[in-house]
Chain A
Amino acid sequence: MSFLILDKVVKNFATTRAVDEVSFEVKPQTIFGMLGPNGAGKTTTIRIITTILTADSGSVLFNGQPLTELHAEEMGYMPEERGLYKKMKVWEQLVYLAQLKGMSGRDAKRSVFEWMEKFNIKDWWNKRVEELSKGMSQKVQFIATVIHRPKLIILDEPFSGLDPINSNLIKEEIEALRKNGATIIFSTHRMEQVEEICENIILINKGKVILNGGVSAIRHQFKQNEFSIRYEGRAPQLPADRFPVVRTENQEMIVKIEDHFSSIDLMRELVNQEVEVKSYNEILPTLNEIFITQVEGKSHE
């Protein structure tokens, strides 16, 4: 049973259709990647999920129930453009935002100090946000997003502006939250992070879902049947009609296997030629490559 189900969600603005029959499902306790170029409709989709906007048509199921504004308290949303009151003290701000999410004042206060301790910013509790460094206010923003123990956490570019240490800290926290029962939607342009963190992704372009599935399934779906062969000594002489060479450099050869042939055929050929193979790998396209070809391909149509 999926935690969040969007079914043919449509949102129109004055002249444009920002979200065009978007459907996807997010399984509970997974990290779900939402990808797409700027203006693809990611933010609008997120705003529909967070009940900031209502869909013109289509349906959203949250934890099995039709989405209502009451569910907003069970969600935590960190927008890409971070938002905090600059003049407010860190702890006051966090308590305020937690209370708006339905926490009691006392509960919020205790929770705020626990998180600040965890993130090593306890000494800054009484500072104004404008006095914090960018990384520190990022942490505050993250705390604000998760303080009320939301069931669904939506993070838009959570690592932008963070140094590797803090990036790791946040990454570990996201993983811990997932283990403790939260479902996470993660919107980003940074494909290597998606490959590393997400189980399932969708790719949105111009309001439409153009890819939807597991990360490795998608990579296999778009593979070009290319293999990398590292060798020592004599280079293999491969028949161009069956195994055309894409490129060769430094004792490494990238070879494409044509249709009707398989990896076994290629290996047999290498063995026959007595090539000293050091490594043999299938080359899967990166999400980045898929992203670019898909987005460009669609826009050329």
Chain B
Amino acid sequence: MNKILLIIRREYMTRVKKRIFLVTTLLAPLSIAVITLLPAYLSTHGKQEEKIALYDESGIFSSKMENRDHLTFGHINTANVPYDSLKKNYTASGFSGILRIPADFSISQPLSIEYFSTDQLGLMTQGGIENQMNEVLRKERLRAANISPEVMEQLNVPVKIIQADLSQSTAQTSTILAYVMGFMIYIVMITYGMMVMQGVMEEKKNRIAEVITSSVKPFQLMMGKIVGIALVGLTQFLIWIVLSGAVISLLKGLYGGDMNDMQQMQGMNAPQQDLPFIAGFLTDLDKLPLALLAFGFVFFFLGGYLLYASIFAAIGAASGEEGDQSLTFIATAPIIISILIMVSVLNQPNSRLAVITSLIPFCSPIIMVGRLPFGPPAWQIILSGVLLIAGFVFTVWVAGKIYRTGILMYGKKITFREMMKWVRY
């Protein structure tokens, strides 16, 4: 068997067999799923039923408040029940509070409504009540101004902006996707880069490097480690892709199969949050060029990983037993800067900053991936890809030189300048 394959296999197997690999692989998407699904679930299932006594002395609201969203109204006959006695027994009747509209309430000055309860009125509940009352009041005011319900209906047709250039997608979904993919590359590049660095440092510290390099070339050892760890990352991605596929179909099941219904609902009550939002996200997702995104993601991950992992390997070889913070910073700084630029680039995915930074090999793995859902011109994607390949070939070459010298150098603190000297050996 080829020796570099042996090294790749060892690097891969020792990591995949560890319990921590299974734990992180399963926990990471689980926590993401919990974070996204929990609010949606709670907004539909988690609310407590609230029954409110409507004590309407003005008679404006009494028959017009509807029961919706876990909120029901009990209409109290103000002629039979005095307000003071209701205040004493409302809990016994199963109400959580009393909404009192005084007799002198006027639709032009709706100020004197009070809510009586020992419990604090929830923000959502209060909003729900206010929305309904406003609707009722608006209708009353229109009627007072002699405008018929038909005219009102016509006045209410909302405008809808359709972005023609983004025919495949909507900006919101693209942004979310860009964030998720950009941050995933960021996290994975740093964690796997560090893993490479740790591995190199361990080999140097254990002096096993000396045993191994008497069998294989240092470059083989370095590349074996980098590729082996890349395969660990790809394995993790594969598991995640399968899992997220499962989660998406689970979501589709949860929020109803018919996506067209969802869209209609979204059009109907636009601000009504989570349920149509997730449905909309899912329908948009179907419209995006998912194959291109997946390919771009894997390509830029691999390119960026190779580029940074080789730098991390060189740093691991050059640093002493405890590692070297300032040398490590050489590798982490551009990654961190890239993610910061990406966040601002997402607002203007075709700005000059976006185009330039998505071509630079040190930033493109994060920034070009962030731009991908917005459909950047093909020439930019291809140029960025070619430059990235050239970039990692260069860093792997430089890192190989530094690694070769550093891995066998003990007991000496290495400066960046010395490291650069090794390149010329």
Contacts and interface: CB of A to CB of B under 8 A. Distances in A.
B236 interface: no
Contacts of B207: 79, 81-83
Contact of B211 (A79, A86, A88, A99): A79
A14 B421 contact: yes
A144 interface: yes
Interface stretch (B214-222, B260-268, B325-333): B214-222
Contacts of B1: 99, 105
B318 to A, nearest CB: 14
A69 interface: yes
B3 A83 contact: no
A77 B211 contact: yes
Nearest to A87: B14
Interface in B270-329: none
A245 interface: no
A200 interface: no
Given A83-B206, A85-B206, A52 B211 contact: no
Contacts of A14: 421
B14 A88 contact: yes
Contacts of A81: 207, 210, 410
Interface of B: 1, 3, 6-7, 10, 14, 202-203, 206-217, 408, 410, 421
B208 A99 contact: no
Interface string A59-81: 00000000001001101011101
A283 interface: no
Given A51-B214, A84-B208, A85-B202, 17 more contacts: A47-B408, A72-B214, A72-B215, A73-B215, A77-B210, A77-B211, A79-B207, A81-B410, A82-B207, A83-B207, A83-B208, A83-B212, A85-B14, A85-B206, A85-B208, A97-B211, A100-B6
Nearest to A88: B14
Contacts of B215: 72-73, 97, 100-101
Nearest to A14: B421
Helix, strand, loop or mixed for chain B's interface?
Answer: helix
7 contacts: A14-B421, A52-B213, A78-B211, A87-B14, A96-B6, A97-B215, A105-B1
A50 interface: yes
Nearest to A96: B10
Contacts of A75: 214
Contacts of B408: 47, 52
Contacts, number: 59
B265 to A, nearest CB: 55
B57 to A, nearest CB: 78
Nearest to A77: B214
A72 B210 CA distance: 13
A41 to B, nearest CB: 14
Contact of B6 (A69, A73, A85, A99): A99
A86 to B, nearest CB: 7
Contact of A84 (B14, B206, B217): B206
A130 to B, nearest CB: 10
Nearest to A49: B214
A100 B213 CA distance: 10
Contacts of B217: 69
Contacts of B10: 96
A14 B213 CA distance: 21
Nearest to B3: A100
B210 A83 contact: yes
A81 B211 CA distance: 10
Contacts of A50: 214
Contacts of B213: 52
A86 B210 contact: no
Contacts of A72: 214-215
Nearest to A76: B214
A79 B210 contact: yes
A34 B213 CA distance: 21
Contacts of B206: 83-86
A73 B217 CA distance: 12
Contact of B210 (A52, A69, A88): A52
Contacts of B209: 83
Nearest to B6: A99
A48 to B, nearest CB: 11
Nearest to B9: A96
A51 B1 CA distance: 21
Contacts of A88: 14
Contacts of A69: 217
